[in-house]
């Protein structure tokens, strides 16, 4: 199974209309698991040839949250805590793979993990996330269509 998830218009990580963003496309592979593959360009580097740690953290954060967006009704969540462990330098200009996995859920709280791998499957960075549901009243006030929340055609 590999189902393309919706993207937004302006999100830094997944926004298809954000010219400064990463424009990652996430695919649900199983219930509670998503993947995204990309090649980071030099605009996202810290040291030459190495992705900035903040970019890595943003990618891991998005993957953890998206792991809970599987199924018919997406579960929109805020990140309450994100613990990142940087294992190796994340390369610029080389294929990398991002994986997010849902763990436990209790009422409005949920946990997830995410990891970033190089093209040989070596672990580059990983994260543990604690997530909180966006309150229902706040979500009702948001027009998802206006945010550009939809499945965009693949290039």
* Bridge partner residues of 36 (DSSP): 98
Is residue 109 over pLDDT 90?
yes
Quote the tokens at residue 90. Answer: 């994340």
pTM exceeding the 0.85 threshold for the entire prediction: yes
Quote the tokens at residue 98. Answer: 């991002």
Is residue 136 over pLDDT 90?
no
Is residue 71 over pLDDT 70?
no
Contact 80, 128 (CB under 8 A): no
Average pLDDT over residues 108-127: 97
User: What DSSP designation does 25 have?
Assistant: -
């Amino acid at each position: 199974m590999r189902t393309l998830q919706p993207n937004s218009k302006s999100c830094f990580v997944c926004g298809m209309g954000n010219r400064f963003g990463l424009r990652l496309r996430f695919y649900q592979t199983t219930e509670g698991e998503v993947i995204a593959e990309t090649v980071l360009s030099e605009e996202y580097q810290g040291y030459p040839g190495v992705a900035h740690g903040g970019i890595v953290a943003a990618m891991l954060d998005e993957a953890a949250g998206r792991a809970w967006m599987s199924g018919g009704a997406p579960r929109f969540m805020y990140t309450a805590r994100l613990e990142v462990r940087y294992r190796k330098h994340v390369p610029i200009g080389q294929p990398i793979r991002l994986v997010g996995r849902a763990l436990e859920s209790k009422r409005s709280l949920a946990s997830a993990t995410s990891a970033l791998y190089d093209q040989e499957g070596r672990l580059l960075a990983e994260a543990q996330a604690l997530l909180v549901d966006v309150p229902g009243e706040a979500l009702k006030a948001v027009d998802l269509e206006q945010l550009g929340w939809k499945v965009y055609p693949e290039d």
